[in-house]
Homo-oligomer: A and B are copies of this chain.
Amino acid sequence: MEVFPIGIIHSPFKVLEDMPIQPTGAAGISGTVEVDASFCEGLKDLDGFSHIILLYQFHRSQGYALQVIPFMDTTSRGLFATRAPKRPNPIGLSIVELERVDGNCLHISNVDILDGTPLLDIKPYVPQFDIHQVTRSGWLDRSENNVTTHKSDSRFT
């Protein structure tokens, strides 16, 4: 299947190094999503949601390995047990806060996305669909406390 950009995500992050590795580590960082004008009609009602799911292309990531050492760990992990950007299908997922909608421009915060990233889809974040009580969170059980301070480096460029 061919997927194509429906817009562009803008953020303060111009290079992959030193980015927050998840929105949780990007509190207060603002950005915008510039949706192609031809899709503007599809944004109706979106302003009713405080959080949205962005799917986008990890456009700077080439290739992949099936085991990686995640930013928050020192041990090699199976790729699909990580959120690393170099994947067979390099599709990124971030849940960001939607501040306001201005025409075809979404003002968002808690942005952990590289400036210029091609947007693939927008979905509303719905607690009843998207909040789940987990009983296990794997290797992150002991390392997730660091997500707010961990930054990316060049390993996934």
Binding site for B on A (CB under 8 A): 1-4, 6, 22-24, 39, 41-51, 53, 55, 57, 59, 66-67, 77-83, 87-91, 93, 95, 97, 118, 120-132, 134-141, 144, 147
**Cβ distance A109 to chain B, nearest Cβ, rounded Å:** 12
A contact patch SS: mixed
CB-based contact A24/B129 at 8 Å: yes
Q: Are B53 and A93 within 8 A (Cβ)?
A: yes
| Nearest B residue (CB) for A55 | B91
Q: Which residues of B contact A138 (CB under 8 A)?
A: 45-49, 124
Chain B residue with Cβ nearest A47? B138
List B contacts of A48 (CB < 8 A): 81, 136-139, 141
Which chain B residue lies CB-closest to A98? Answer: B136
Known: A6-B89, A137-B48. A80 touches B42 (CB 8 A): yes
